[in-house]
Structures are given as structure tokens and as C-alpha cells.
């Protein structure tokens, strides 16, 4: 890693601590947190690694239909709750902020990975395998619309957080790392940063009331002082989310170089 990138990494390591102070000082809402915790560092990486930005954007856009499905069922089952939205909700429960979160979270992960870890620029915006990911996401969204309109009771899925993350997070990671073990260290390097970022984000969110977990359908709880969140949140969002995003990215959009 070059000296300039080491400086960039130090800046991004210090910044989440600053984001915590800004959040408490200004008492920002969830939309503001997207800007402070994810938007600012994403913009920084866009300026520094602009050549990766278009592909990261295309990949991040694909996540939006799936984010709508997951947020709807998550709210419906009480797995998580965003109590306040600045916009009208979609499908009764889905907040526009969560759609923004999905895009910028995927974008930030890919940009960090490409800029600091992978450093591979193929020069192509689109690979043919990406269409299979798009088709899969659209099929899931169409199935959701069908259940939403005709069989809504089927969307009341017990232990939803655990179930969907095993299928969409854990299994893809295991398949990717089993088939291409050379990616293990690269994925871990990226995941380490996002664990640090999301842990600070989670603690701040629960302190300021950006989200909560009203259900008891979790496999366990993690307590840090007076803060409590589900074990699924620790395992699947803080530890494994970045690795899952990169598993999809490498398989469908980066030709696994």
C-alpha cells in the first residue's frame, strides 16, 4: 500500500470516532446518520478512487429491491424498527432512509475494498454474470409483491433475521471462500474495518433512538453497558455483512481476479 493510501486509511479509521461526536452534538436523525457515518467517507473514497465509482454504483443499485423486501418483513415481524422517517413509507413499513442505507452501504463497502484491498480496475462497467444477480433480485421482489397482495400472512416469518441472513449472508460467504480461498485475507481486511465502523454506528444509533429491536425472536443478545442488541446483529451485520457483499460482488461483477 502506498504512503498516500496509508494516510487515507488512517483518516477513515479516525473518522468514525468523529462521526459519533457529531451525531451526539447535533442530535441528528437516522437520515443524518447516513450522511455522517456512510456518506462522508463514501464521498472521500469517490474523490480518491473515482475510477471505481461507476461500477460500485451499479452494483449498489441492484441491492435496492431486496432491501425493500427485507425491511418490510423486518418491520412486519418486529425484528427491527425505525420509529421515525422523514418521508412517506413504502408498503406501509419501508422507510426511504433504508433504501438510501442499502445503496450507500453497498457502495461504501465496494469502494473501500477496491481502493485499499483489491486495487483491481478492469475498465468494464458490466459483466454478463451480473444479469443473473439482477434476475434473482427481481424474482425475489416479484414473489414479495405476490405474497404482499394475495398471501400477506406468509410474510410473517418467525426468526426472520436469523433465517434470511443464513441464506443470503452466511451461505454465500462460505461458498465463495471455499471455492476461492485466496479471497479470505482480502475479505477479512475489509470486514475488520466495517466491524469497527458498524459497532460504533450501532451503539450511537441505539443511544439516539435511530432504530430498535422490539421482537424477542432472536438467538441471543449482546449487552454493552446499557445498550442491548441481538446476537444476529453482531454476527450478520457487524461481522459478516461486508464479506457477504464482497462475495456477491466478486462472483457476479468482478470476474474474481
Q: Is the pLDDT of residue 140 over 90?
A: yes
Secondary structure of residue 229 in the 3-state scheme: strand
Mean pLDDT on 88-116: 96
Residue 1 confidence (pLDDT): 76
Residue 120 confidence (pLDDT): 66
Where are the domains positioned within the chain?
Answer: 3-253
Closest alpha carbon to 161 in 91, 201, 218: 218
Q: Is the pLDDT of residue 196 over 80?
A: yes
Can you tell me the distance from the alpha carbon of 249 to that of 251, in angstroms, rounded to the nearest whole number?
A: 6
Q: Are 127 and 252 in contact (CB under 8 A)?
A: yes
Q: Are 203 and 227 in contact (CB under 8 A)?
A: yes
Q: What is the pLDDT of residues 200-229, one digit of tens each?
A: 999 999 999 999 999 999 999 999 999 999
Q: Estimate the crossing angle of helix 53-76 against helix 130-150, to 10 degrees.
A: 20
Can you tell me the distance from the alpha carbon of 174 to that of 171, in angstroms, rounded to the nearest whole number?
A: 5
CA angle 36–70–32, rounded 5-degree value = 15
Q: What grid cell was written down for 214?
A: 422490539
Can you tell me the distance from the alpha carbon of 133 to that of 226, in angstroms, rounded to the nearest whole number?
A: 40
pLDDT band at 257 (very low <50, low <70, confident <90, very high): low
Which range scores top for mean pLDDT: 20-24, 121-125, 178-182? 20-24
CA dist list (Å): 147 to 66, 155, 168, 181, 209: 15, 7, 19, 38, 31
Residue 118 confidence (pLDDT): 81
Q: Is the pLDDT of residue 126 over 90?
A: no
The pTM of this model reads 0.95
Residue 251 confidence (pLDDT): 87
What average pLDDT does the chain have? 93
Mean pLDDT on 148-162: 96
Q: Give the strand pairing for 221-224 and 227-230.
A: antiparallel
Q: Is the pLDDT of residue 23 over 60?
A: yes
Residues of the chain with pLDDT > 90, as a percent, come to 87
Q: Estimate the crossing angle of helix 171-179 against helix 184-208, to 10 degrees.
A: 160
pLDDT band at 150 (very low <50, low <70, confident <90, very high): very high
Can you tell me the distance from the alpha carbon of 231 to that of 236, in angstroms, rounded to the nearest whole number?
A: 8
Q: Is the pLDDT of residue 122 over 70?
A: no
Can you tell me the distance from the alpha carbon of 22 to that of 233, in angstroms, rounded to the nearest whole number?
A: 24
Residue 124 confidence (pLDDT): 64
Amino acid at each position: 500500500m502506498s504512503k498516500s493510501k496509508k494516510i487515507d486509511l488512517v483518516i477513515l479509521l479516525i473518522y468514525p470516532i468523529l462521526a459519533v461526536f457529531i451525531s451526539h452534538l447535533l442530535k441528528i436523525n437516522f437520515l443524518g446518520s447516513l450522511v455522517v457515518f456512510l456518506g462522508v467517507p463514501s464521498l472521500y473514497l469517490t474523490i480518491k478512487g473515482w475510477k471505481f465509482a461507476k461500477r460500485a454504483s451499479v452494483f449498489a443499485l441492484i441491492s435496492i429491491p431486496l432491501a425493500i423486501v427485507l425491511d418490510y418483513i423486518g418491520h412486519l415481524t418486529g425484528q427491527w424498527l425505525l420509529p421515525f422517517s422523514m418521508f412517506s413509507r413504502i408498503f406501509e413499513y419501508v422507510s426511504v432512509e433504508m433504501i438510501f442505507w442499502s445503496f450507500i452501504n453497498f457502495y461504501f463497502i465496494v469502494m473501500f475494498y477496491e481502493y485499499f484491498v483489491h486495487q483491481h480496475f478492469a475498465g468494464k462497467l458490466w459483466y454478463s454474470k451480473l444479469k443473473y444477480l439482477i434476475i434473482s433480485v427481481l424474482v425475489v421482489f416479484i414473489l414479495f409483491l405476490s405474497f404482499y397482495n394475495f398471501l400477506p400472512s406468509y410474510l410473517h416469518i418467525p426468526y426472520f433475521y436469523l433465517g434470511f441472513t443464513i441464506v443470503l449472508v452466511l451461505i454465500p460467504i462460505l461458498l465463495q471462500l471455499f471455492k476461492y480461498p485466496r479471497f479470505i485475507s482480502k475479505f477479512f481486511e475489509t470486514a475488520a474495518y466495517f466491524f469497527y465502523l458498524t459497532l460504533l454506528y450501532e451503539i450511537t444509533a441505539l443511544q439516539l433512538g435511530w432504530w430498535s429491536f422490539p421482537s424477542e425472536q432472536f438467538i441471543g443478545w449482546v449487552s454493552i453497558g446499557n445498550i442491548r442488541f441481538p446476537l444476529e446483529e453482531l454476527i450478520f451485520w457487524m461481522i459478516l455483512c461486508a464479506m457477504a457483499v464482497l462475495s456477491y460482488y466478486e462472483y457476479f461483477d468482478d470476474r474474481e481476479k
